[in-house]
Amino acid sequence: MKISNPVQTAMAAALLFSSCLLMNACTKNLADNTLSQQATDAAKRAAVLTGAVTDSSLIAYKKSPHEIYAGFYRFQGPCYGAAPNGSNFSQVPDSLDVLILFCFSPSSPIADSVPRWINALHAKGTKVIVTGNLDLAPGAPDNTTGYATTAKRIMDSIVNRYGFDGYDIDIESNPSGTELTRMAGVYSALSKYLGPKSGTGKLLTFDTNQSGSNSLFKKVYTMVDYVWLQAYGRGASTLQSTWNTFAPYIKSTQFIPGFSFYEERGYPGNVWYDVTYPVNGTGRAFDYARWEPSGGKKGGVFSYAIDRDAPLTSSTDNTLYTPTYIVSKMLIRIMNP
């Protein structure tokens, strides 16, 4: 796919704006503002995508309208060993918008480094959130008081303690009865601190392999910033039908389909083949980046196991790689040319 030169885009927008003023061909209040914003946004993208990157340009880019790229980084301990790209997750691509720590625990041997690495990403405008659950805090009653206690414990012991920018809930079932009541209760209690209803700017997200008919989602969708759809192993042609189930509840820009990089010891039973080798811009991951829902724009794309973004020597090779985040960088460019 040919990528437009972002510098030329910025120049063209600026020239068009100048011509508009000279020729009086545009109305003062509408077209001038529109073209000026286009030039500004194009310049922000140009600075990031051409390598003229400073922290201020990265922050400006991430605040501008664009399709985001997010990545789940599997943290060292208790679930995983050191990642191929290293344990220091602050080394992810500068233009990553949201990093999601997966299987994080304060008991990890490197947990004390997390605030420092988060601060390094904050300097670039990257948000860092953490995946967790909605289990009641130890000793908390299964009622409104217990839900509030649980939410405060999550905030105090995880989110605020380490400096995270939000909390991600992994939902891979369709709860009912008392379980549904409890989960919705804790999610609602969290929305006081996180998500669009909180006013804090911190994220509350819904990470799922379910559809928009999920029982919990239908109770909490007004409290959700993004839906991370685990679309691993699926063709991009299936995304529209899944989006249709979420469309009555959220904006298309809140809907973010995701693919998976290969996992350790994955072959042959746990390899999704969403990224094929050699890396040449083809495969499901790239199809997702190019896909758009009918009548709108998606929020972006996420990757699971971004810690294993590397060009392998074959689709089944779990050991030979050169860590470069090559796929992630290509996807960002495809979505924001």
Answer yes or no: do 327 and 249 share one domain.
Answer: yes
What is the per-residue burial (b if ≥16 Cβ within 10 Å, else e) of 244-277?
Answer: eebbebbebbbbbbbbbbbbbebeeeebbbbbee
pLDDT digits over 321-330, tens only? 556 788 999 9
Please give the Cα distance from 222 to 188 (Å, whole number): 10
Answer yes or no: do 55 and 86 share one domain.
Answer: no
Q: Kindly state the average pLDDT of the residues 183-208.
A: 98
Confidence of residue 102 (pLDDT cuts 50, 70, 90): very high
264 is catalytic: no
Answer yes or no: do 178 and 307 share one domain.
Answer: yes
Give every CB contact of residue 264 below 8 A, 6+ residues apart in sequence: 80, 81, 308, 318
Please give the Cα distance from 320 to 314 (Å, whole number): 9
pLDDT mean across residues, the chain: 85
Q: Is the pLDDT of residue 21 over 50?
A: no
Q: What is the CATH number of the domain that holds 119?
A: 3.20.20.80
Answer yes or no: do 40 and 83 share one domain.
Answer: no
pLDDT for the residue 279: 81
Range of the domain at 117: 66-335
Last residue of a domain, one of 65, 82, 116: 65
Query: What total of structural domains would you count in the chain?
Result: 2
Answer yes or no: do 51 and 90 share one domain.
Answer: no
172, 179, 263, 264: the catalytic one is 172
pLDDT for the residue 308: 84
Confidence of residue 77 (pLDDT cuts 50, 70, 90): confident
Q: Kindly state the average pLDDT of the residues 231-254.
A: 98
Of 157, 122, 125, 166, give the one whose Cα is nearest residue 138: 157
Q: Is the pLDDT of residue 17 over 50?
A: no
Confidence of residue 16 (pLDDT cuts 50, 70, 90): very low
- For 63, the token pair is 């605040």
pLDDT digits over 107-138, tens only? 998 999 999 999 999 999 999 999 999 999 99
pLDDT digits over 22-75, tens only? 334 333 344 445 445 555 555 555 555 555 679 999 999 999 999 999 999 998
- Residue 109 burial (10 A CB sphere; 0-12, 13-18, 19+): exposed
Answer yes or no: do 33 and 45 share one domain.
Answer: yes
Answer yes or no: do 29 and 124 share one domain.
Answer: no
Last residue of a domain, one of 65, 90, 113: 65
Answer yes or no: do 147 and 54 share one domain.
Answer: no
Answer yes or no: do 251 and 303 share one domain.
Answer: yes
pLDDT for the residue 280: 86
pLDDT digits over 213-234, tens only? 999 999 999 999 999 999 999 9
Answer yes or no: do 255 and 302 share one domain.
Answer: yes
Answer yes or no: do 28 and 51 share one domain.
Answer: yes
Answer yes or no: do 8 and 73 share one domain.
Answer: no
Could you say which DSSP state residue 112 is in?
A: G
Last residue of a domain, one of 44, 65, 86: 65
Residue 184 contacts residue 220 (beta carbons within 8 Å): yes
Could you say which DSSP state residue 228 is in?
A: E
Give every CB contact of residue 55 below 8 A, 6+ residues apart in sequence: 123, 124, 125
Residue 200 contacts residue 193 (beta carbons within 8 Å): yes
Q: Kindly state the average pLDDT of the residues 274-292.
A: 91
Confidence of residue 314 (pLDDT cuts 50, 70, 90): low
Residue 163 contacts residue 155 (beta carbons within 8 Å): no
